[in-house]
Amino acid sequence: MHPDNEESEQIPSGTVFVVDDDEAVRDSVALLMRSVGLPAQTFKDARSFLDDYDPAQIGCLVLDVRMPRMSGLDLQRELKRRDWRLPVIFITGHGDVPMAVEAMRAGAVEFLQKPFNDDELIRRVNRALAIDASQRKLLHEVAELRQRYETLTVREREIAQRLASGAANKVLAIDLNLSERTVEVHRAHILEKMKARGVAQLAQQMLRLELKAKVIGDC
């Protein structure tokens, strides 16, 4: 389960999930994806996607905005609710501008108006797949860091925070009313538990844990 292994296995793969109520559109999008070697899976509506999809699968969604019963926007909302961070590329019809506006407000930025340029779609799909992969990698790393962090004692966590914000051993010892020696022992334990090579890396790790949400958002 080393992150490096995951990266080499999963980045090139990833499936394009196509959800569109129009059979010809979803079939043709899937074929276009396959023509550039990307596996694609089609769904005739949002519901069947939610039923079939395993959140462990890497990929991206090509999603029609306007669909009967559950619209593309509804699906996007549902994904958010379930905390499934699959990147979404919306494809919209002509009259769907107001919906597109709404989707943008909801945070989706990938929009293609039908009929779309194939290069554009392929480019965006590739980018979305890359995003999903790196986002998963990040999530994985952060999850691992959190696990390591959770093995620290309360005192160690306090010292780790202070070390990460650049406090010297001497200052720490005075502040916490400990001997400098004790501080050093703690420090060695912390670095070991966090698998950090030094205080600089620890600082980075702490930052990541704090900014988890933001780091992912930036992708």
Q: Which residues bind other proteins (CB under 8 A)?
A: 22, 24-25, 27-29, 31-32, 34-36, 66, 91, 93-98, 102, 114-116, 118
Please state the closest distance from residue 82 (CB atom) to other proteins, in A: 26
Closer to other proteins by CB, 30 or 88: give it.
30
Please state the closest distance from residue 18 (CB atom) to other proteins, in A: 10
Closer to other proteins by CB, 114 or 162: give it.
114
Please state the closest distance from residue 142 (CB atom) to other proteins, in A: 37
Please state the closest distance from residue 19 (CB atom) to other proteins, in A: 14
Closer to other proteins by CB, 115 or 217: give it.
115
The whole-angstrom separation of Cα 43 and Cα 125 is 17
Closer to other proteins by CB, 20 or 206: give it.
20
